[in-house]
Amino acid sequence: MVSAHVDAAQVLVASNRGPVSYAVGEDGALTAKRGGGGLVSGLSSIGQRADSLWVCAALGDGDREAVRRGAVEPGVRMLDIDPATHAAAYNGVANSVLWFVHHMLYQTPLEPSFGPEFRTQWAAYEAYNEAFARALADGAADGAAVLVQDYHLALVPGLLRELRPDLRIGHFSHTPWAPVDYFRMLPDDVAEQLLRGMLGADRLGFLTGRWADAFTETCVRYLGGTSGTRIGVHGLGADADFLRERSRRDDVEERLVALRERVGEGRKVIVRVDRTELSKNIVRGLHAYRLLLAEHPEWRERVVHVAFAYPSRQDLAVYRDYTAEVSRVAAEINSAFGTEGWTPVVLHVEDDFARSLAAYRLADVALVNPIRDGMNLVAKEVPVVSDEGCALVLSREAGAYEELGEDALGVNPYDVAGTAAALRSALAMPVEERAERTKRLAAAGTALPPGRWFADQLAALSASAPADT
Ligand code: F6P
């Protein structure tokens, strides 16, 4: 039986960012912080097995110190890769090239431009992938299952297959996959290396059929096919039990009271919660809100846009500039329309999970308008937590749209006027309709909770491995 077989094998996970990070305090003591979010909770189910291993990179000084002191928690192996190599692989290739390709973020008249600097970074990316492959090969028992995560580690399956042909290797992409003509911007040898690296896996997982099909088409175009590697779709859902319990705790209640006060009595609330990530399209969202206020003055004083935009990838200048632009546009709207007793945009840029949950509960409208997104869990979480039902304005370019599209108000993320119109319809949606749609959205968004998402992949990997047939 598949499940018995899965239970018998050791399981390893590999990802750039691990489940825990460390900081050194002023007194020299190390403190550990566990990561949040669906990915960590889904993958964390491996922690229940005594022999499991999560291999990740040491990302900062605290992590490196924890490695040096041998203080990393059991079940986690942090790789202390040379900082310059890691920076070139992570910032130079993974974040500035692969992320840009899959999310279609380039302003193509000037970028990308693949010269000698890129080649140096690519060599670092290879070295960083090799370090992961070696660590996994060292840590894996005979016949173990290894689940490699994301574009950071695209070469690992092929490298690991060479070192350890006995392993079952899966790879999961949490991002979209680029349309083949966009992917073709990459230098041909790099593109082929990436594809062959991934095809070293027994099985590749994607969040939606759309991304899986784009990958297959890319392989057909470059290599004539997927060389027998199985492709599967696993649409990660929100963790309903966790969210319902967590969003009713005291710290969330306190923040809810504060937010209500900030918004003001009787006003509707449009909420967005994102990392300040170029693909999230926060600036066009603000432009759409401004258009709504400009063209429909009846909404002035009657609505507040609560926008939480948490820092992300601040090592990259383009992210810092984007973060500044978000603040600039929000301030511009407030100075153009704000009045004594009404602040049209309430923007927060410090990460506070309890406050995000409070905003989810309060939302009349959730705005999720990414340019392109592998899934987008916020779209799935808000309906679960919402107190009184919430209309969802959702980009058709988010993976979540495949599952939620029927009950959301779909938007083309580039169409600012269209987004403004959708916000207006969402604000005007009758309460009963909103509540009904929210119920259906919550059911669809929690259909595959993180624990099952992970278990299904393991079972499918086991079923598709040659050793099993
Ligand atoms: O959301 C897609 C994703 O690839 C996640 O799987 C991953 O956790 C994140 O993006 C990477 O973000 P960061 O660069 O902050 O680690």
Q: Which domains does the chain have, with CATH numbers?
A: 2-236+451-463 (3.40.50.2000), 240-446 (3.40.50.2000)
Nearest to 390 by CA among 355, 416, 344, 359: 359
Q: Are strands 203-206 and 230-233 parallel, antiparallel or unpaired?
A: parallel
- Report whether pLDDT(3) > 60: no
Pocket test of ligand 1: the residue of 86, 95, 105, 150 to mutate, having most ligand atoms within 8 Å of its CB, is 150
pLDDT in tens, 263-304: 999 999 999 999 999 999 999 999 999 999 999 999 999 999
Nearest CA to ligand 1 atom 14: 313
Ligand 1, CB within 6 Å, residue ranges: 17, 39, 150, 174-175, 312-313, 374
Cα 313 to ligand 1 centre (Å)? 10
pLDDT in tens, 420-437: 999 999 999 999 999 999
3-class SS of residue 75: coil
State how far the Cα of 438 lies from the Cα of 450, in Å rounded to an integer: 20
Contacts of 329 (CB under 8 A, 6+ apart): 283, 286, 287, 290
Q: Report, in this order, helix, strand and coil percent for the chain, each rounded to 5.
A: 50, 15, 30
Cα 367 to ligand 1 centre (Å)? 20
- Determine how many CB atoms are found less than 10 A away from the CB of residue 309: 26
Tell me the whole-structure pTM to 2 decimals: 0.95
pLDDT in tens, 150-183: 999 999 999 999 999 999 999 999 999 999 999 9
User: Do the beta carbons of residue 395 and residue 369 sit within 8 Å?
Assistant: yes
Q: Read out DSSP for 363-379?
A: -SEEEE--SSBS--SHH
Ligand 1 atom nearest to 149, measured from its CA: 6
Cα 175 to ligand 1 centre (Å)? 8
Q: How confident is the model at residue 2 (pLDDT cuts 50, 70, 90)?
A: very low
State how far the Cα of 167 lies from the Cα of 396, in Å rounded to an integer: 38
Pocket test of ligand 1: the residue of 34, 175, 377 to mutate, having most ligand atoms within 8 Å of its CB, is 175
3-class SS of residue 148: strand
Nearest to 369 by CA among 322, 416, 332, 403: 416
Angle at 238 between CA 232 and CA 240, to 5 degrees: 135
- Determine how many CB atoms are found less than 10 A away from the CB of residue 451: 16
